[in-house]
Amino acid sequence: MKQMTIQRRITRNHGKRAKIGSHGFKVYKGTTVYVGKETPIKSGVSEELVSTLQDLWNNNPSTKKMRKFIKYISIKRSVQNGGTAGRWDCEKQMVEIIQHKDEVSWYIGTFYHEVEGHAFWDFARLWRREELVKFNELANSLPPVNSYIKDNEHKWKIWNDDGDSDYEPHPSMTRYANEQHSAITEIIRNVDRRETILFKEGVEELVKAWEALHY
C-alpha cells in the first residue's frame, strides 16, 4: 500500500517589498504563511475561507499597516468540533485562524477581532502609545461592550498586557481595554458576533476613540 504523507505548505517572501505569495497574501520579507491541507487524518482548510482571509488581509486599510508587524499567518483546520477560532500571539507576532466549521462568515469576525483588534492594539502599544493610552483610559472607565467581556471583567481589569521591556508598564494597558478594543472593532466592521450590552453613548465614545487610534 502506498504510504500517505502529511502535506504542508509554507511560503515566505525573501524580497524587500510586500509581494503576493503563492497563497495570495501580500507579505513582506520574513513573513511566513501556513495553510493547512488535507491529510489522511483530517480535512484541510476550505478554499472559501482562505480566499476570504486573503481579501481581508490584502485590502483592509488597518490591516495594511500590520504587514510588517505580523510575522506569521497560520490557517488550519481543527480536528475538534468546537474551541478557539483564532488567537494572536504577541511574542511570536503570529495570527492563527482555526477552522472548526464551514460558515466562513464567522471567521470574518474572528479576523477583525484578532488582526485589527488584538494585533493592532499591540502594534499601537509600541508605535501609537499616546493615542492608545487615551483609548484605554476611556475603555477602562466604561462598562463591558458585550457579555464575553462582562464574564471576565474582574480578572481582565487587573491583568496588565504592557509587557514590553522598553517601557514602564502603563496602568491603562489592561486586558480589559485590549478586549474592549477588539469588541468595538467588530461593531465598527459590522461583524459583532455577540450582543452589545454597552449603552449607546458609550459605544459612540469608543468608536470615536478607535477612529483616533486607527488614523
Give residue limits of the domains in the chain. Answer: 1-104, 128-215
pTM equals 0.87
Name the residue among 6, 189, 15 with its Cα closest to residue 105: 189
pLDDT reported for residue 211: 96
Residue showing cell 517572501: 13
pLDDT reported for residue 12: 52
pLDDT reported for residue 62: 81
- In order along the chain (215 residues), what is the average pLDDT of each group of 10 residues? 37 59 85 85 85 94 89 88 86 94 87 96 95 98 97 97 80 98 96 91 98 94
CB 90 within 8 A of CB 78: no
